[in-house]
Amino acid sequence: MMHRFFVDTALCDNAQIELDLKATQHAQALRLREGDQIVIFNGQGGEYPGKIIFQGRKIRVLLGSYLQQERKSLLHISLAQAMLSSEKMDWVVQKATELGVSQIMPFSAARSNVKLDAMRSVKKLAHWKAVAQAACEQCGMNKIPIITETFSLPTLIANTQLSHMHRFTLAIGAKTPLYSQPKPKPNESALIVIGPEGDFSPEELDLLDKADFTRVSMGPRILRTETAGLAALATLNACWELL
């Protein structure tokens, strides 16, 4: 498999583009040589074959013809993840991207151990997008998942009141297994909400229940929050045959 590079620029057939500093350093670390073939994508869908051209210390890429290649899941699945520590949140963003998530929605829960002010939220959002971009380079996806700003749980609920969205709360003690849920239709999407390390508060669960989120379970074991969302995505992928 050819090495893949994300670029934040418009692309077109037979154009020449210059790799940014980060991509250049990556290419140098891979010991790519003049004329080597790579793949370029900008996260908007599709990809381009490219050929390495050295220009002094700069690396340029001669693009070939556009390829309509997506490698994405056939259904729109969103993951709403209660805020975690930096390392754990990076892990969730990276692995959820590899599993084909369409959207990641961080939110602040009552028992979240991490609270972000406005400035830190902006920096974290940019960082998570970079993590998702790198994950797409690795896994072959050509569309970067949407990562929203960090909301409160009530705001997240209000923003997801969509008639064609199947909405689930992964809750300790729930009786309904996630794998038993019927596959959404092609014009429908799904949202799974994962609580913080201290679990949802009773008030939050009541709020989700009243908003018609279905409480579901992954089985008798209690999973860590950074594991739970990824396990849920993998379960939905397998049960709905998206992989």
Q: Which CATH number fits domain 76-239: 3.40.50.1980, 3.40.1280.10, 3.40.50.1170, 3.60.9.10?
A: 3.40.1280.10
At 54, list the tokens: 């050295």
Task: Give the model confidence (pLDDT) of 17-26 as tens digits.
Answer: 999 998 999 9
List pLDDT tens digits, range 82-96.
Answer: 999 889 999 999 999
Domain parsing of the chain, residue ranges: 4-63, 76-239
pLDDT for residue 73 = 74
CB 113 within 8 A of CB 196: yes
- pLDDT, residue 221, reads 86
Q: Given this model, what pLDDT does residue 243 score?
A: 53
* Number of neighbours of residue 23 by Cβ within 10 angstroms: 20
Q: Say whether pLDDT at 220 is over 90.
A: no
Q: Which residues contact 86 (CB under 8 A, 6 or more apart)?
A: 124
Does this model's pTM top 0.85? My answer is yes
At 150-196, the pLDDT tens digits run: 999 999 999 888 767 899 999 998 999 999 998 888 778 899 999 99
Does the pLDDT of residue 118 top 70, yes or no? no
- When the pLDDT of each residue in the chain is averaged and rounded to a whole number, the result is 91
* CATH class of this structure's domain 4-63: mainly beta
State the Cα–Cα distance between residues 65 and 67, nearest whole angstrom.
6
Within a 10 A sphere around the Cβ of 230, how many other Cβ atoms? 21
Query: d(Cα 50, Cα 7) in Å, to the nearest integer?
Result: 12
Spatial CA neighbour of 191 closest among 107, 135, 111: 107
Q: Is the pLDDT of residue 231 over 90?
A: yes
**pLDDT higher than threshold 90 for residue 70:** no
CB proximity list for 46: less than 8 A, separation 6 or greater: 66, 67, 68, 69, 70, 142
Among 25-34, 37-46, 119-128, 221-230, where is mean pLDDT lowest? 119-128
- CA 185, CA 174: separation in Å to the nearest integer? 25
Identify the pLDDT of residue 242: 62
